[in-house]
Chain A
Amino acid sequence: MLLRSCHTYRNLLQTRLLHTRPAYREDKRWPGWEVVVGIEVHAQIKTRQKLFSESLTSELGHTPNTNVSPYDAAFPGTLPHLNFKCVDLALRTALALQADIQPRSSFDRKHYFYSDLPTGYQITQFYAPIAKDGILKLSKHNLRVRINQIQLEQDTAKSMFDPRRKQSQIDLNRAGTGLMEIVSQPDMRSPEEAGDYVRTLQAVLRSVGSSDGNMEQGSFRCDVNVSVNRPGAPFGTRCEIKNLNSVKFTMIAITSEVFRQTALLESGRPVAQETRGFDEAKAETFKLRSKEDAPDYRYMPDPNLPPLLVDAEYVARMQEGMPELPERTRARLVARGLSERDADVLMSVDSGREVGFDGEAGSGGAVAYFDALAHGRDAKVVVNWTTHELLGQLAARKDKALTFSQNPVSVQQMGELIDLVQDGSLTGTSGKALLRHMIANPSPARPAALAAEMSLLAMTDRASSADALRALCEGAVAALPQEAAAVRMGNEKVIMKLVGRVMKESRGRADATAAAALFREMLVHSS
């Protein structure tokens, strides 16, 4: 095991040596300029407890200041206690990003006074991070982005300013939650590559269960470094845009920042190195502070926390328990005959739920459901039923849309339903109706039994069904004389109205194609 991991490391080293700066490709939006982007991500680690205390982590919407221990509130005399689940998930992340796990890393204090930081310092890994030198292969662009380092650190509390009462309010629920800071090299050359990086990284973190990767809810936050230069020239002066909270805004912020910087340079003015914010309403970045105002964080090795030692054997054990990475999942799904689009849909549904808290096996996402369902069945048929029918109906429920994790239809039930349709026992229409019923009325009942109970089974007995169909069609003609007349006049489109009547009367059991043929025979050919 040890040998194998060394071998992997050597391969990695070679790929890294081969990495060269990609050739310049002109972008019509800013001809004659090359854009350089590096991204720093802060991802909340998906553990039940915080990084250094036993308090539970919180979700958005939890009552403020309910998950707080004396340590989280920086009460004097308290000491940090490292949560090894956070370490495990950072290691999984490092393995997923093919990074070099450091046998010895350590914790440092970063000092500043702010109301969201009750101790006056944040514990982070400034001098010796847990992993270095990784790679993220983007999913849509042919690009391998180098990861500089991964470090463990504490999240801050949340401070909200109430302008009416002119008061800052502090919620300590988030204080001390574990974060992974993942820093890329400046390897991206467009807003789109940056967007791809963020999405790919989200998918990777979700697949290994290390983070929910949810930008809107703040469990995944981006700081973006942007600079521009003339092709072949050295990198320009960079600006950092802080706290971007969606992929879309990240891309817009980069685009607007590129325009700002190129406009400055084209008018002969320099770009000043500064930290900038992003105004979503104006789609513009704005200055927060210049390099000169940058605070001195007075980094100091944390005197309470001993160095974090990770041996090769432990890494090997982690490697064995690694969930499947998105790139591999996608390749496997496409190999089974799914389109890229279908694979994307399956992989994005409720993603982040494949793995539970603390890296434990989760409820299984849509891919796991599909895998179980497609076992011994036609993958394309199964993916249609899963993505179009099941996911569609869950999302389209009138009273309350359900997420995939709330799906009440078991793999066995869904499989049997598909089989009933495939062998002709149910029409497609009836199958969909039955699925709707099963979603609305969750029960462990078998679909065949439900179909029989609801008289949905297709009229398979040929003799009686032919008679029944003719009777239904005649009934339709009698009920819709004007439509029947129109068909007789040659307007065949109207046949569908008559078929609709038949389907309604038969509650979906009739064969719509056979009914249309019968109408043609009755009304068009006979005249």
Chain B
Amino acid sequence: MRDHLCRSLRSYSTHARRAIQAQNEAVNALVYTAEPTNRPNGPLKDLAIAVKANICTTGMPTTCSSTMLKDFTSPYNATVVNLLQEAGADIVGKTNCDEFGMGSLNVHSVHGPVVNPFNLPERRSAGGSSGGSAAAVAAGMCDAALATDTGGSTRLPASYCGVVGLKPSYGLISRWGLISYADSLDCVGVIAKDVDTTKRVFDVISAYDSKDPTAATPTFRSSAHSNLTERSIFLDGSLDGLRIGVPQEYFPAELDPSITEPFRAVLSSLQEMGATLVPVSLPMTRYALSAYYVLASAEASSNLGRFDGVQYGTRVDTPVGADKTSTRDVYAHTRSSGFGGEVKKRILLGTYALTADAFDGYFLQAQRVRTSIRQDFDRIFSAPNPLSIPPTQTPTDNGVDVLLHPSAIRTAPALPTSGTSDSRQTDLSAYVQDMLTVPASLAGLPALSVPACKGQDGWPVGVSVVGQWGSDELVLRVGKVLEGLRA
């Protein structure tokens, strides 16, 4: 019996490594492949898991897909990596991503773009920024992958690649070892082939960590849990009593009409299973994108200040005859050649938003919008937000348990050819896409993308389930139902 088990465990990993060998060259999902190691027995012993390139590992390089860190190996492991290793997971390698998590197509990478494995010859984008994680799972190179999500970076590639992507409630998973893009938004996410695997990985890494000052304390975790059990809805397959909100603002003009139809079909199926559909409005949604880019860029400009080539990372020496009198001027050479275009653009935007003249009109205004967005959500959910002090409202019967909306405005777009990659058009559409994902990021809410629809082109589109803070378990349960509809 034991022998049989061992053989089957080994075969899982072997299967993953065989897929890596066969497909990675074309897909470009993994940027580093690890050798198998002796692993302890644990709940994830049968899983091959890849880790995004912006999560620190001592045994593998952590490049953030940037020239700045292309030869960097962290002196410590991220807490999530330790948790995976302790649970016996087979860590197969590091995944490609947009540089420092900034991007929606996984094209801003020193390792080159990721090609969506759904149909390789079409050369479509795997989405970003966690494109490598989603593509690695979709191509069978691993059962699950750690991703990160600042404004949609887990959910969007999951949607494009036809896999499951969870951005948990902010604070549930330790950020110690996740290389910051925007601390107040960054979350470690999980991408996996199915909802059950997603949940298994989530259950292992969702643990309080004193090393993360923004980690939700056990008190908040249990308070969110008791909110969930109080509702005690939807425990036995039936969706009776489950109230699903459909936010009208999440169907913008840019949404591909061919997605609306399959999404409606999903809604009717859920209704047939007993769920109540409730049209809701989140009026602040339209300001979310601007607020997100101001806040995320401001934090990025601050967080990326540390990459100066002094303590670690790439260093570009000053050219002969260059002015070395000010530290700024010396750093400029390293920073100018170490960061890619998208990163530089956001650093500049963020730097401006924090200047004395712009701070009130941009940064503070964006923070106010963020608060309003949170209140928008708190108003429509039946469960109170455990983090709001005092709780914004008591649970009402009119509230909804979860929200449902398409994860993306379209199926995976074609990878930009070198000629179009810098065109204004491409850039703007990438930002519009974020409109569907950034509100949950700004509010710190759990959001799960499940591949429940297909566009007219036959490519997958995800459906997103969004819940109140801490209701990750409920979100996963609804996701499981959505997954069943696909079959």
Interface residues of A (CB under 8 A from B): 70, 73-82, 109, 111, 113-115, 118-121, 170, 296, 298-300, 303-306
4 tightest Cβ-Cβ pairs between the two chains A and B: A120-B305, A298-B354, A303-B184, A303-B183
Interface flag for B182 (CB, 8 Å): yes
- B68 CB to nearest A CB, Å: 9
- B293 CB to nearest A CB, Å: 15
Q: Which stretch from B5-13, B69-77, B238-246, B448-456 is at the chain A interface?
A: B69-77
Are B308 and A77 in touch, CB under 8 angstroms? no
Are B176 and A79 in touch, CB under 8 angstroms? yes
Besides A70-B75, A115-B327, A306-B214, 19 more A-B contacts (Cβ < 8 Å) are A75-B75, A75-B76, A76-B56, A76-B62, A77-B177, A77-B180, A79-B175, A79-B176, A79-B213, A80-B213, A81-B210, A113-B331, A115-B310, A118-B308, A120-B304, A120-B308, A296-B355, A296-B356, A303-B299
Chain A residues with CB under 8 A of B311:
73-75, 118
CB < 8 Å: which of A81, A109, A114 contacts B327? Answer: A114
5 A-B pairs whose Cβ atoms sit less than 8 Å apart in the complex: A75-B312, A76-B179, A120-B306, A300-B363, A304-B183
Are A300 and B306 in touch, CB under 8 angstroms? no
Are B176 and A120 in touch, CB under 8 angstroms? no
Most chain A C-beta atoms within 10 Å of own C-beta, residue among B55, B62, B327: B327
Chain A residues with CB under 8 A of B308:
113, 118, 120
Interface flag for B23 (CB, 8 Å): no
Assembly CA distance A492 to B210 (angstroms): 82
At the interface, is chain A mostly helix, strand, loop or mixed?
Answer: loop
Chain B residues with CB under 8 A of A76:
56, 62, 64, 69, 72, 74, 179-180, 306-307
Assembly CA distance A111 to B354 (angstroms): 10
CB < 8 Å: which of B78, B182, B328 contacts A113? Answer: B328
Assembly CA distance A306 to B213 (angstroms): 7
At the interface, is chain B mostly helix, strand, loop or mixed?
Answer: loop
Chain B residues with CB under 8 A of A304:
183, 213-214
Residue of B nearest to A306 (CB): B213
Interface flag for B271 (CB, 8 Å): no
Most chain A C-beta atoms within 10 Å of own C-beta, residue among B72, B179, B311: B311
Are A111 and B56 in touch, CB under 8 angstroms? no
Chain B residues with CB under 8 A of A303:
182-184, 214, 299
Are B305 and A119 in touch, CB under 8 angstroms? yes
A78-B176, A300-B363 known; A121+B74 contact, CB < 8 A: no
Q: Mark B56-69, 1 if CB is under 8 A from A, else 0.
A: 10000010100001
CB < 8 Å: which of B183, B211, B310, B354 contacts A118? Answer: B310
Assembly CA distance A77 to B78 (angstroms): 8
Are B213 and A74 in touch, CB under 8 angstroms? no
Chain B residues with CB under 8 A of A77:
55-56, 62, 74, 76, 78, 176-180
Are A121 and B302 in touch, CB under 8 angstroms? yes
Q: Mark B157-181, 1 if CB is under 8 A from A, else 0.
A: 0000000000000000001111110
Q: Mark B296-324, 1 if CB is under 8 A from A, else 0.
A: 00110110111110111000000000000
- B381 CB to nearest A CB, Å: 23
Are B310 and A170 in touch, CB under 8 angstroms? yes
Assembly CA distance A114 to B307 (angstroms): 12
Are B298 and A300 in touch, CB under 8 angstroms? yes
Chain B residues with CB under 8 A of A296:
355-356
Chain A residues with CB under 8 A of B256:
none
Chain B residues with CB under 8 A of A74:
306, 311
Residue of B nearest to A109 (CB): B302
Assembly CA distance A118 to B303 (angstroms): 11
- B356 CB to nearest A CB, Å: 5
Assembly CA distance A282 to B332 (angstroms): 36
Q: In chain B, residues 395-453, which have Cβ atoms closer than 8 Å to a Cβ of chain A?
A: none
Assembly CA distance A118 to B213 (angstroms): 20
Interface flag for B372 (CB, 8 Å): no
Are B211 and A81 in touch, CB under 8 angstroms? yes
- B303 CB to nearest A CB, Å: 8
Assembly CA distance A113 to B178 (angstroms): 23
Assembly CA distance A120 to B359 (angstroms): 19
- B478 CB to nearest A CB, Å: 30
Q: In chain B, residues 107-125, which have Cβ atoms closer than 8 Å to a Cβ of chain A?
A: none
Q: In chain B, residues 42-61, which have Cβ atoms closer than 8 Å to a Cβ of chain A?
A: 55-56
CB < 8 Å: which of A73, A120, A300, A305 contacts B213? Answer: A305
Chain A residues with CB under 8 A of B72:
76
A70-B76, A77-B56, A303-B182 known; A111+B302 contact, CB < 8 A: yes
- A152 CB to nearest B CB, Å: 14
Chain B residues with CB under 8 A of A121:
302, 305
Most chain A C-beta atoms within 10 Å of own C-beta, residue among B179, B302, B304, B328: B302
Interface flag for B351 (CB, 8 Å): yes
Are B354 and A300 in touch, CB under 8 angstroms? yes
Residue of B nearest to A116 (CB): B327
Chain B residues with CB under 8 A of A114:
327
Chain B residues with CB under 8 A of A109:
302
Chain A residues with CB under 8 A of B351:
298
Assembly CA distance A120 to B302 (angstroms): 7
Chain A residues with CB under 8 A of B213:
79-82, 304-306
Chain A residues with CB under 8 A of B25:
none
Assembly CA distance A15 to B211 (angstroms): 44
Interface flag for B203 (CB, 8 Å): no
- A465 CB to nearest B CB, Å: 74
Residue of A nearest to B69 (CB): A76
- A275 CB to nearest B CB, Å: 16
- B176 CB to nearest A CB, Å: 6
A76-B306, A118-B311 known; A299+B354 contact, CB < 8 A: yes
Assembly CA distance A82 to B211 (angstroms): 10
Residue of A nearest to B328 (CB): A113
Interface flag for B272 (CB, 8 Å): no
Assembly CA distance A80 to B183 (angstroms): 12
Residue of B nearest to A82 (CB): B213
Most chain A C-beta atoms within 10 Å of own C-beta, residue among B56, B213, B310: B213
- B115 CB to nearest A CB, Å: 28
Assembly CA distance A417 to B347 (angstroms): 72
Chain B residues with CB under 8 A of A300:
298-299, 302, 354, 363
Chain A residues with CB under 8 A of B179:
76-77
Assembly CA distance A70 to B306 (angstroms): 12
